[in-house]
Amino acid sequence: MGRKKIQSALISVYYKDQLEPILNILKDNGVSIYSTGGTQKFIQEQGIEVTSVESLTGYPSILGGRVKTLHPKVFGGILSRRDNPSDQEEVSEYEIPDLDLIIVDLYPFEETVSSGADEQSIIEKIDIGGISLIRAAAKNFKDVAIVASKNQYRELTDILEEKGCSTDLEDRKYLAAQAFNVSSHYDSAIFNYFNRELQIPALKISELKATELRYGENPHQKGLFYGDLESLFEQIHGKALSYNNLVDIDAAVALVEEFDEETAFAILKHTNACGAATGNSVKDAYLKAFEADTISAFGGILATNRTVDLGAAEEINKLFFEVIIAPEYTPEALEVLKTKKNRIILVKKDNLKETKIAKTLLNGILEQDKDLKTDSLEDLKVATKRATTDEENKALLFASKVCKHTKSNTIVLAKEGQLLASGVGQTSRVDALKQAIKKAGDFNMDLNGAVMASDAFFPFPDCVEIADQAGIKAVIQPGGSVRDKDSIDYCDAHNMAMVFTGFRHFKH
């Protein structure tokens, strides 16, 4: 078991909440405590005897507190191997006391960066002594216990209470692993801060919070979410979120965030919108979204960017769905929506902040910038003799937003503020268009005067010809094919309008 009684401890922490129970255990067991600065003062205020690190080292805290614990009498006491005769001779010769427990945390670097502080303030929050103490104690876990985060105070208290102020080897090894988790995360945060400008081609991803999911994409796969969901959502009802829920929620939120100034509603299945609309109210937008595909909406993910009121909730409640996301709900709406006990109700507290996308493949990681480009009126370059009307432009930009968030190859058919149908994830653009037209017919969506959006250019004129025959009169696409002129010529011959944006929106 390798049980060791704690006889001495070094404590130097930024966060002192929940430290008092540990101090009382150490005091009751006659442990010699060493400390510095504010921590030393805090311990003394608890009526507990404490020795300053300065009196141990013979040096005061210098350079404005930058150097306090960096001394052989401190690190020798941590790193000395208790079963190594040579080490023990040296610590005896230099009067270095053994240190059995190190409790130290790190300056709040990430919090300082997030606060928008100036660079010098951020640099001063790069911890030197603390990180060194953590690494030294974790390396010598055979003899030393290390606690590197306030989040472990409770855990350490339980160990000390259970084992009479002692630790087992398995405890110390576990604490060492947790300490390296803290230190590696801290260093990653510092590197990523500097790399905002330098753009060194290296990838450092670190998340300390993990949520175990019911399972992964399928029941035989294990699933975990790394990150802080609580900063983005408050779950106020329903069962635990699943892997597939999270994938679809991300897609739904990303789509709805495209609509800043309009009331928008989206219904998604397997990350694709089966319904999307804007309206005069949440209820109006929902009904228009639902109209496009009343079958696929079953069991879907619902998202809106406005408050869900009673009228909207009564309509939405008629549908079986997995998740609903909104910035707010009226009390009356919640009363209706909570009638299904497993239904997940999320309050969206903030917007998505990621600017990068990473994906594991081929035994490596693929990273790219997130597609943050939203096609605007200024991007539209008329390619045909007939220019698009104001009404068509509004419909085209709406269709483009939906198209951007739909799996390639995709074609989106829409009128102003309403998805009529889409063809998604097809191996050819023609197949995607045919799928969309068929789907529109299945749900009695009138395509006369509708518009078409494509995520990439048309290599042949077949798509605009098929669209024309279905009643579509305006097209938005990136352009850039060597055969753009063939599609333009067909549009000109049939009084269709087409605009190029210059931006492709593949999504795989």
Distance CA 45, CA 143 (A): 30
Q: Which pairing describes strands 364-369 and 8-12: parallel, antiparallel, or unpaired?
A: unpaired
Contacts of 442 (CB under 8 A, 6+ apart): none
Distance CA 204, CA 474 (A): 45
For 279, list phi and psi in degrees, rounded to 5.
-160, 180
Residues known to be catalytic: 139, 270
- Which pairs with CB-CB distance under 8 Å and at least 24 residues apart come from 241-244? 241/213, 241/323, 241/344, 242/213, 242/214, 242/215, 243/213, 243/214, 243/215, 243/216, 243/217, 244/217
- Kindly tell me the sign of the dihedral angle through the C-alpha atoms of 446, 448, 452, 457: positive
Q: Is 481 left (phi over 0), alpha (psi -120 to 50) or beta?
A: beta
Instruction: Output DSSP code: residue 478.
Output: -
Give the number of other CB atoms < 10 A from CB of residue 205.
11
* CA torsion angle 121 123 129 132 (round to 10): 150
The answer to whether 426 touches 372, Cβ cutoff 8 Å, is: no
Residue 339: strand, helix, or coil: coil
Count each helix (H run) and each strand (E run) in the chain, helices first: 18, 23
Look at residues 68, 77, 102 and name the one whose alpha carbon lies nearest to residue 183. 102
Distance CA 447, CA 441 (A): 9
Distance CA 217, CA 378 (A): 40
